[in-house]
Amino acid sequence: MNDPEAHDDAPLGTDALDGEAPVDGRAARAAKTRNAIADALLDLLAEGRMRPTAKEIAERAGVSVRSVYVHFDDLEDLHCVSATRFLRRVAPMLEPVAVVGSVEDRAYALVRQRGRLYAESGAIGRATRLHAESSRTLERILRDGRNRSRAELERVFALELAPMPEPDRNRVVALLDALCGPETWETVHVRHGLDVESSTRCIADAIVVHLDGTRA
């Protein structure tokens, strides 16, 4: 385990909480402290602090720097616990989009859901992608998320994708995934300053045009 006194200003990043219920008062207090530390990291990331230090996280959580290193094996462990904790928090936002209705309706519903998710994740998502460059666990978390995103696109637009040969289908899904990704949302909504409704319509329209083009 790392020496906490030697790492007071070490940059931290985001991973996943174990879900075992505390069995006594001591375990309950430990779980409460662990959760507080993970939430403190999430709060700092949400404020745009991509690499908060152990001291900053401890101060936000109301614990000692030593506690950070008592409850987490290392910096990657804390990042991974926090990332998984955040995913549990936003899980209710990921209800499956209906597969009935016009392609316009389905595209709009999907992009609206993604927009809400990106609004909630924001800087936390950017920080997770940043720290995934040096964390196998975070990289796996992101890869799993990308796989679920692709599967959802294939489910929602199954009617349009079904007639396509596999190479064409893969190409179309790849572009759909790019259109529905956080980078595209940030470009349209943040960089170009479109409001949420306009951003949603813009990306949904692009999806419809793309799918219509495959039937030409």
In this predicted model, what pLDDT tens digit does every residue of 29-42 receive, in sequence order? 888 999 999 999 99
Tell me what pLDDT residue 12 has.
42
Model confidence at 17, pLDDT cuts 50, 70, 90, reads: very low
Q: Please give the residue that has the higher pLDDT: either 28 or 15.
A: 28
- For residue 27, pLDDT over 90 is answered with no
Instruction: Give the dihedral sign, CA 65/70/71/76.
Output: positive
- Whole-angstrom Cα distance, residue 145 to residue 209? 26
In the DSSP assignment, the letter for residue 164 is S
The band of 26, judged by pLDDT with boundaries at 50, 70 and 90, is confident
1/114: higher pLDDT: 114
pTM recorded for the entire structure: 0.76
Q: Which residues of 130-148 are buried (b: 16+ CB within 10 A; e: fewer)?
A: bbbeebebbeebbeeeeee
Confidence class for position 14, pLDDT limits 50, 70, 90: very low
Say whether pLDDT at 116 is over 90.
yes
Output the pLDDT for position 23.
Answer: 55
Domain ranges of the chain: 4-85, 95-214
Phi-psi region of 193 (alpha: psi -120 to 50; beta: other; left: phi over 0): left
For 153, the 3-state DSSP assignment is helix
- pLDDT > 90: what percent of the chain? 57
- 41-78 tens-digit pLDDT: 999 998 888 889 899 999 999 999 999 999 998 878 88
